[in-house]
Chains A and B, each alone.
Chain A
Amino acid sequence: MSFINYSSREINCKIVYYGPGLCGKTTNLQYIYNKTNPETKGKLISLSTETDRTLFFDFLPLSLGEIRGFKTRFHLYTVPGQVFYDASRKLILKGVDGVVFVADSQVERMEANLESFENLRTNLGEQGYDLNKIPSVVQYNKRDLPNAVAIEELRESLNPRSVPEFQAVAPTGVGVFDTLKAVAKLVLTELKKGG
């Protein structure tokens, strides 16, 4: 749920990166963090285990600039992808304005992608959101790997709504900013409609 502050002329929106374990959600945020000007970003917070698996969430605040005199800020969150952290994932979806579903393109992760996608739909539903209506984009990550599934197949399973989709190689940044821009645009467009 975005927060509009007329007094300080700010608008804050929340974007959540969702997807199966090890699909590259945290890597997306790390790349964005490393490539953004220091004055436009806050600290990247990662609540992770000793083996660098996300335990609760990663958080990165970003300022995008001004629209009609309002400072536009995006709070980027990731969820923990591992199946047994479902209770935590639900909490992070609270107040979400836009979702990025990050899919792992490797053939052996197809089932995990599908499970996570359905889990996203269920958990959004529990919070009163509809995956068919909320601003969302899909990122097919790990396109550089030899065992990557054809895009058509991924699309058929994971993008039934034909939302904007991007091919990515998150560690090198391919597709990372395109994905972020697309979801940010959708969120702002939704705000415009809501007004």
Chain B
Amino acid sequence: MGTQLVMYDEEYNRINAVCDRLTKDANAKVVFIVDKNGQLISASGQTQNIDTTSLASLTAGNVAAMGGLAKLIGENEFPNQIHEGARESLYMTIVGSRIVLVVIFDTRTSLGLVRLRVKKASDELGKIFEALVKKTAEPGGMASPFAEISDDDIDNLFSE
């Protein structure tokens, strides 16, 4: 079983900063980060009209399916994917084997620029997530907010 993903303020802010900068530098519409299980971690740019939760889940499904295909032909995974639409395109890249960085862009930028900026951002993100995994594994880390909950707390969720 993999380790539970836990996000703290410090890393969260750093990740958001990388996403914001990537959105600007690549002239992208939206940048978001999803874990491979389909949980949305961060979103930046014009996210107002996008169902980010669904996007995260479908991204994870897509990456999982492509990973399965890769293994069938003897590759470990396909670390980069590009999907070109008539107006909008999607670029996905796997960071540190656990996280997916997704960039949505249109004709105001180019694939070359997106690739270039993604490379730099994914190196930075890789380091942040590595640090995060270490921090989570440290003994005496932040106690789970759920350690203290009572059965009543759980029951109350379902009482309405």
Interface size on B, residues (CB 8 A): 43
Partner of B61, one of A2, A4, A6, A57: A57
A94-B154 CB under 8 A given contacts A7-B9, A194-B144: no
- Nearest-neighbour CB distance to chain B for A55, whole angstroms, equals 11
Bound together, the chains give a CA A127 to CA B158 distance in angstroms of 30
- Nearest-neighbour CB distance to chain A for B142, whole angstroms, equals 7
A residues bordering B, Cβ < 8 Å? 1-8, 11-12, 14, 42-43, 45, 47, 56-57, 59, 61, 64-65, 67-70, 72, 75, 77, 87-88, 90-92, 94-95, 127-129, 181, 184-185, 188-189, 191-192, 194-195
B7 touches A3 (CB 8 A): yes
B64 touches A4 (CB 8 A): no
B39 touches A3 (CB 8 A): yes
Bound together, the chains give a CA A4 to CA B147 distance in angstroms of 13
- Nearest-neighbour CB distance to chain B for A21, whole angstroms, equals 19
A192-B147 CB under 8 A given contacts A7-B13, A59-B54, A65-B160: yes
Known contacts A95-B2, A95-B38, A185-B158, then 20 further A-B pairs from the complex at CB < 8 Å, ordered by chain A residue: A1-B1, A3-B39, A4-B5, A6-B6, A6-B7, A8-B7, A59-B38, A59-B57, A59-B61, A67-B146, A68-B146, A88-B68, A90-B68, A92-B64, A128-B2, A188-B157, A191-B144, A192-B146, A192-B147, A195-B147
Residues of A within 8 Å of B3, CB to CB, are 1
- The 8 A-B residue pairs with the shortest CB-CB distance, nearest first, are A195-B144, A95-B37, A195-B147, A7-B12, A91-B64, A3-B39, A5-B7, A191-B146
Residues of B within 8 Å of A77, CB to CB, are 57
Residues of A within 8 Å of B86, CB to CB, are none
- Nearest-neighbour CB distance to chain A for B42, whole angstroms, equals 10
A64-B157 CB under 8 A given contacts A42-B54, A75-B38, A94-B37: yes
A128 touches B1 (CB 8 A): yes
Residues of A within 8 Å of B9, CB to CB, are 6-7
B145 touches A1 (CB 8 A): no
B54 touches A188 (CB 8 A): no
A8-B2 CB under 8 A given contacts A3-B7, A65-B160: no
A56 touches B12 (CB 8 A): no
Residues of A within 8 Å of B64, CB to CB, are 91-92, 94
Q: Is B48 an interface residue (CB 8 A)?
A: no
